[in-house]
Protein backbone atom coordinates (compact mmCIF):
# COMPACT_ATOMS: atom_id res chain seq x y z
CA UNK A 1 0.00 0.00 0.00
CA UNK A 2 1.08 3.56 -0.70
CA UNK A 3 0.23 5.34 2.53
CA UNK A 4 3.15 7.74 3.01
CA UNK A 5 4.05 10.08 0.14
CA UNK A 6 6.75 12.74 -0.26
CA UNK A 7 6.65 15.67 -2.69
CA UNK A 8 9.09 18.54 -3.19
CA UNK A 9 7.59 22.02 -2.91
CA UNK A 10 8.98 23.90 -5.88
CA UNK A 11 7.82 27.16 -7.45
CA UNK A 12 6.39 27.77 -10.91
CA UNK A 13 3.62 26.13 -12.92
CA UNK A 14 5.34 22.75 -13.03
CA UNK A 15 5.80 22.72 -9.27
CA UNK A 16 2.20 23.80 -8.66
CA UNK A 17 0.91 21.07 -10.99
CA UNK A 18 3.05 18.43 -9.26
CA UNK A 19 1.90 19.44 -5.80
CA UNK A 20 -1.75 19.44 -6.88
CA UNK A 21 -1.22 16.00 -8.41
CA UNK A 22 0.42 14.72 -5.22
CA UNK A 23 -2.47 15.94 -3.08
CA UNK A 24 -5.10 14.45 -5.42
CA UNK A 25 -3.11 11.21 -5.52
CA UNK A 26 -2.82 11.20 -1.75
CA UNK A 27 -6.55 11.72 -1.43
CA UNK A 28 -7.29 8.83 -3.81
CA UNK A 29 -4.92 6.52 -1.92
CA UNK A 30 -6.04 7.79 1.51
CA UNK A 31 -2.39 8.52 2.17
CA UNK A 32 -0.44 11.05 4.21
CA UNK A 33 1.49 13.57 2.09
CA UNK A 34 4.62 15.37 3.25
CA UNK A 35 5.90 18.42 1.39
CA UNK A 36 9.58 19.32 1.64
CA UNK A 37 10.78 22.81 0.77
CA UNK A 38 14.50 22.89 0.09
CA UNK A 39 16.65 25.88 1.01
CA UNK A 40 19.81 25.99 -1.04
CA UNK A 41 22.90 27.16 0.78
CA UNK A 42 25.42 29.18 -1.23
CA UNK A 43 29.10 28.39 -0.99
CA UNK A 44 30.15 30.30 2.12
CA UNK A 45 33.84 30.34 1.30
CA UNK A 46 33.24 32.09 -2.01
CA UNK A 47 30.79 34.57 -0.52
CA UNK A 48 32.99 35.46 2.40
CA UNK A 49 35.82 36.15 0.02
CA UNK A 50 33.73 38.10 -2.49
CA UNK A 51 30.81 39.72 -0.77
CA UNK A 52 30.93 39.02 2.94
CA UNK A 53 28.66 37.34 5.45
CA UNK A 54 25.88 39.90 4.97
CA UNK A 55 25.12 38.64 1.47
CA UNK A 56 25.10 35.05 2.72
CA UNK A 57 22.64 35.87 5.49
CA UNK A 58 20.40 37.85 3.14
CA UNK A 59 20.33 35.03 0.61
CA UNK A 60 19.46 32.50 3.30
CA UNK A 61 16.70 34.70 4.68
CA UNK A 62 15.15 35.16 1.23
CA UNK A 63 15.30 31.42 0.48
CA UNK A 64 13.74 30.64 3.87
CA UNK A 65 10.92 33.11 3.22
CA UNK A 66 10.20 31.48 -0.16
CA UNK A 67 10.23 28.03 1.42
CA UNK A 68 7.86 29.12 4.20
CA UNK A 69 5.50 30.65 1.63
CA UNK A 70 5.52 27.41 -0.39
CA UNK A 71 4.76 25.42 2.75
CA UNK A 72 1.88 27.72 3.65
CA UNK A 73 0.33 27.38 0.18
CA UNK A 74 0.68 23.61 0.24
CA UNK A 75 -0.81 23.28 3.72
CA UNK A 76 -3.74 25.45 2.65
CA UNK A 77 -4.34 23.34 -0.46
CA UNK A 78 -4.14 20.13 1.58
CA UNK A 79 -6.62 21.49 4.11
CA UNK A 80 -9.04 22.45 1.33
CA UNK A 81 -8.84 18.94 -0.14
CA UNK A 82 -9.10 17.25 3.23
CA UNK A 83 -5.74 15.51 2.79
CA UNK A 84 -3.59 14.67 5.78
CA UNK A 85 -0.36 16.56 5.20
CA UNK A 86 2.64 18.15 6.83
CA UNK A 87 5.61 20.19 5.60
CA UNK A 88 9.22 20.81 6.49
CA UNK A 89 12.18 22.93 5.44
CA UNK A 90 15.46 21.26 4.51
CA UNK A 91 18.70 23.21 4.14
CA UNK A 92 20.89 21.63 1.49
CA UNK A 93 24.00 22.44 -0.51
CA UNK A 94 25.47 21.15 -3.74
CA UNK A 95 27.78 18.97 -1.64
CA UNK A 96 25.17 17.25 0.55
CA UNK A 97 21.83 17.85 -1.18
CA UNK A 98 21.45 14.59 -3.09
CA UNK A 99 22.49 12.52 -0.08
CA UNK A 100 20.07 14.30 2.27
CA UNK A 101 17.16 14.06 -0.17
CA UNK A 102 17.85 10.36 -0.76
CA UNK A 103 17.93 9.69 2.99
CA UNK A 104 14.65 11.57 3.45
CA UNK A 105 12.99 9.68 0.58
CA UNK A 106 13.77 6.33 2.23
CA UNK A 107 11.22 7.16 4.92
CA UNK A 108 8.32 7.19 2.43
CA UNK A 109 6.54 4.69 0.21
CA UNK A 110 6.77 6.95 -2.83
CA UNK A 111 8.27 10.26 -3.93
CA UNK A 112 6.32 12.48 -6.35
CA UNK A 113 8.61 14.67 -8.46
CA UNK A 114 8.38 17.16 -11.32
CA UNK A 115 9.52 16.32 -14.81
CA UNK A 116 13.15 17.51 -14.76
CA UNK A 117 13.97 21.02 -15.93
CA UNK A 118 16.39 20.88 -18.87
CA UNK A 119 17.82 24.25 -17.81
CA UNK A 120 18.68 23.10 -14.29
CA UNK A 121 22.36 23.13 -13.42
CA UNK A 122 23.92 19.67 -13.28
CA UNK A 123 25.34 20.56 -9.85
CA UNK A 124 21.95 21.50 -8.40
CA UNK A 125 20.51 18.76 -6.14
CA UNK A 126 17.43 17.04 -7.59
CA UNK A 127 14.89 15.10 -5.53
CA UNK A 128 14.06 13.05 -8.65
CA UNK A 129 17.62 11.82 -9.12
CA UNK A 130 18.27 11.52 -5.38
CA UNK A 131 15.15 9.45 -4.71
CA UNK A 132 15.44 7.34 -7.87
CA UNK A 133 19.10 6.39 -7.50
CA UNK A 134 19.53 6.64 -3.74
CA UNK A 135 16.34 5.75 -1.88
CA UNK A 136 15.42 2.23 -2.99
CA UNK A 137 11.85 3.51 -3.31
CA UNK A 138 9.75 4.21 -6.43
CA UNK A 139 9.38 7.71 -7.85
CA UNK A 140 6.28 9.02 -9.62
CA UNK A 141 7.26 11.72 -12.13
CA UNK A 142 4.60 14.25 -13.18
CA UNK A 143 4.86 15.90 -16.63
CA UNK A 144 4.84 19.67 -17.10
CA UNK A 145 1.55 19.48 -18.98
CA UNK A 146 -0.32 17.57 -16.27
CA UNK A 147 -3.38 19.57 -15.25
CA UNK A 148 -5.98 16.91 -14.48
CA UNK A 149 -6.27 14.83 -11.34
CA UNK A 150 -4.70 11.37 -11.53
CA UNK A 151 -6.92 8.64 -12.93
CA UNK A 152 -4.36 5.87 -13.54
CA UNK A 153 -7.01 3.61 -15.09
CA UNK A 154 -4.91 2.32 -18.00
CA UNK A 155 -1.36 1.37 -17.07
CA UNK A 156 1.54 0.26 -19.25
CA UNK A 157 4.37 -1.76 -17.72
CA UNK A 158 7.61 -1.69 -19.72
CA UNK A 159 9.04 -5.17 -19.21
CA UNK A 160 12.50 -6.40 -20.19
CA UNK A 161 13.12 -8.80 -17.31
CA UNK A 162 15.68 -6.49 -15.67
CA UNK A 163 16.10 -5.76 -11.97
CA UNK A 164 15.00 -2.16 -12.53
CA UNK A 165 11.83 -3.18 -14.36
CA UNK A 166 11.06 -5.72 -11.62
CA UNK A 167 11.45 -3.10 -8.88
CA UNK A 168 9.25 -0.64 -10.78
CA UNK A 169 6.51 -3.24 -11.25
CA UNK A 170 6.65 -4.17 -7.56
CA UNK A 171 6.52 -0.53 -6.51
CA UNK A 172 3.54 0.09 -8.78
CA UNK A 173 1.58 -2.98 -7.64
CA UNK A 174 -0.96 -1.00 -5.55
CA UNK A 175 -1.70 1.14 -8.63
CA UNK A 176 -1.83 -1.81 -11.00
CA UNK A 177 -4.45 -3.46 -8.79
CA UNK A 178 -6.60 -0.34 -9.08
CA UNK A 179 -6.23 0.02 -12.86
CA UNK A 180 -9.05 -1.10 -15.13
CA UNK A 181 -6.57 -2.17 -17.81
CA UNK A 182 -2.90 -3.18 -17.59
CA UNK A 183 -0.61 -3.89 -20.54
CA UNK A 184 2.82 -5.45 -20.15
CA UNK A 185 4.85 -4.15 -23.09
CA UNK A 186 7.97 -5.85 -24.44
CA UNK A 187 9.83 -4.02 -27.23
CA UNK A 188 12.15 -5.59 -29.83
CA UNK A 189 12.80 -8.76 -27.84
CA UNK A 190 13.77 -11.67 -30.08
CA UNK A 191 14.07 -14.00 -27.10
CA UNK A 192 11.75 -14.47 -24.16
CA UNK A 193 12.64 -12.23 -21.24
CA UNK A 194 10.84 -14.39 -18.69
CA UNK A 195 12.26 -17.44 -16.98
CA UNK A 196 11.35 -20.61 -18.92
CA UNK A 197 7.95 -21.91 -17.83
CA UNK A 198 7.03 -18.65 -16.14
CA UNK A 199 5.40 -15.44 -17.33
CA UNK A 200 5.20 -12.06 -15.67
CA UNK A 201 1.47 -11.81 -16.40
CA UNK A 202 0.93 -14.94 -14.30
CA UNK A 203 2.74 -13.26 -11.43
CA UNK A 204 0.54 -10.17 -11.81
CA UNK A 205 -2.60 -12.34 -11.91
CA UNK A 206 -1.67 -13.79 -8.53
CA UNK A 207 -1.74 -10.22 -7.21
CA UNK A 208 -5.20 -9.63 -8.63
CA UNK A 209 -3.95 -7.82 -11.76
CA UNK A 210 -5.45 -9.00 -15.05
CA UNK A 211 -2.71 -7.97 -17.50
CA UNK A 212 -2.24 -8.57 -21.20
CA UNK A 213 1.18 -9.07 -22.79
CA UNK A 214 1.95 -6.99 -25.88
CA UNK A 215 5.11 -7.42 -27.97
CA UNK A 216 6.15 -4.50 -30.17
CA UNK A 217 8.69 -4.63 -32.98
CA UNK A 218 9.84 -1.25 -34.25
CA UNK A 219 12.74 0.76 -35.66
CA UNK A 220 12.18 3.52 -33.11
CA UNK A 221 14.26 3.76 -29.96
CA UNK A 222 12.75 2.27 -26.81
CA UNK A 223 11.87 5.51 -25.08
CA UNK A 224 9.95 6.97 -28.01
CA UNK A 225 8.29 3.62 -28.70
CA UNK A 226 6.90 3.49 -25.17
CA UNK A 227 5.65 7.08 -25.30
CA UNK A 228 4.13 6.62 -28.75
CA UNK A 229 2.30 3.46 -27.71
CA UNK A 230 1.10 5.13 -24.52
CA UNK A 231 -0.38 7.93 -26.62
CA UNK A 232 -1.95 5.50 -29.10
CA UNK A 233 -3.80 3.55 -26.42
CA UNK A 234 -4.53 6.60 -24.25
CA UNK A 235 -2.67 5.21 -21.26
CA UNK A 236 -2.49 7.38 -18.16
CA UNK A 237 0.42 5.69 -16.36
CA UNK A 238 3.75 4.27 -17.55
CA UNK A 239 5.70 1.97 -15.23
CA UNK A 240 9.36 1.38 -16.10
CA UNK A 241 12.80 0.85 -14.69
CA UNK A 242 14.93 3.95 -14.20
CA UNK A 243 18.26 3.23 -15.85
CA UNK A 244 21.55 4.98 -15.32
CA UNK A 245 25.25 4.83 -15.95
CA UNK A 246 28.14 6.16 -13.93
CA UNK A 247 29.95 9.37 -14.84
CA UNK A 248 32.75 10.59 -12.60
CA UNK A 249 31.39 8.38 -9.80
CA UNK A 250 27.91 9.96 -10.10
CA UNK A 251 24.74 8.40 -11.44
CA UNK A 252 23.23 10.01 -14.54
CA UNK A 253 20.20 9.03 -16.58
CA UNK A 254 20.59 6.36 -19.23
CA UNK A 255 19.38 6.93 -22.79
CA UNK A 256 15.87 5.46 -22.54
CA UNK A 257 15.19 7.04 -19.16
CA UNK A 258 16.41 10.42 -20.41
CA UNK A 259 14.26 10.22 -23.55
CA UNK A 260 11.11 9.42 -21.55
CA UNK A 261 11.76 12.17 -18.99
CA UNK A 262 12.39 14.77 -21.68
CA UNK A 263 9.29 13.96 -23.78
CA UNK A 264 6.80 12.46 -21.31
CA UNK A 265 3.13 13.38 -21.57
CA UNK A 266 1.79 11.09 -18.84
CA UNK A 267 2.84 10.24 -15.28
CA UNK A 268 5.72 7.77 -15.13
CA UNK A 269 6.52 5.56 -12.16
CA UNK A 270 10.19 4.56 -12.05
CA UNK A 271 12.44 2.54 -9.78
CA UNK A 272 16.15 1.74 -9.95
**Three-class SS of the chain:** CCCEEEEECCCHHHHHHHHHHHHHHHHHHCCEEEEEEEEECCCHHHHHHHCCHHHHHHHHHHHHHHHHHHHHHHHHHHHHHCCCEEEEEEEECCCCHHHHHHHHHCCCCEEEEECCCCCCCCCCCCHHHHHHHHCCCCEEEECCCCCCCCCCCEEEEECCCCHHHHHHHHHHHHHHHHCCEEEEEEECCCCCCCCCCCCHHHHHHCCCCCEEEEEECCCCCHHHHHHHHHHHCCCCEEEEECCEEEECCEEEECHHHHHHHHHCCCCEEEEC
CA distance 63 to 132: 25
pLDDT value of residue 248 = 36
In this structure, of 136-145, 187-196, 225-234, the range with the lowest mean pLDDT score is 187-196
Instruction: State the pLDDT confidence band at 250, using cuts at 50, 70 and 90.
Output: very low
Q: Is the pLDDT of residue 30 over 90?
A: yes
Q: Is the pLDDT of residue 53 over 90?
A: no
Rounded to two decimals, the pTM is 0.90
CA distance 155 to 95: 37
Query: In 10 A of CB 31, how many CB atoms?
Result: 22
Domains of the chain: 4-142 (3.40.50.620), 154-271 (3.40.50.620)
Mean model confidence pLDDT for the chain: 88
Query: pLDDT tens digits for 146-198?
Result: 988 899 899 999 999 899 999 999 999 999 999 999 999 999 766 666 666 67
What's the whole-number mean pLDDT along residues 105-115?
97
CA distance 255 to 244: 8
Q: Is the pLDDT of residue 34 over 70?
A: yes
Cα torsion 217, 241, 19, 111 to 10°: value is 170
Q: Is the pLDDT of residue 42 over 90?
A: no
pLDDT value of residue 249 = 38
pLDDT value of residue 59 = 79
Query: pLDDT tens digits for 55-75?
Result: 777 878 898 999 999 999 999
What are the distances in angstroms from CA 187 to CA 42, 161, 220, 226, 256? 45, 11, 10, 8, 12
Amino acid sequence: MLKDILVELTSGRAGDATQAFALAFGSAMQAHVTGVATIGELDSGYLLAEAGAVMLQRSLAEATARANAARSRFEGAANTRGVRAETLNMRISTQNGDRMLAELSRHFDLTVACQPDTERSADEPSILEAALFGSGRPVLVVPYIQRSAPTLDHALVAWDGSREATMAMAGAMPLLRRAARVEVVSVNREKEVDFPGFNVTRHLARHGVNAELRRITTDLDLGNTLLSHADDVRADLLVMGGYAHSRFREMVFGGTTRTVLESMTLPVLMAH
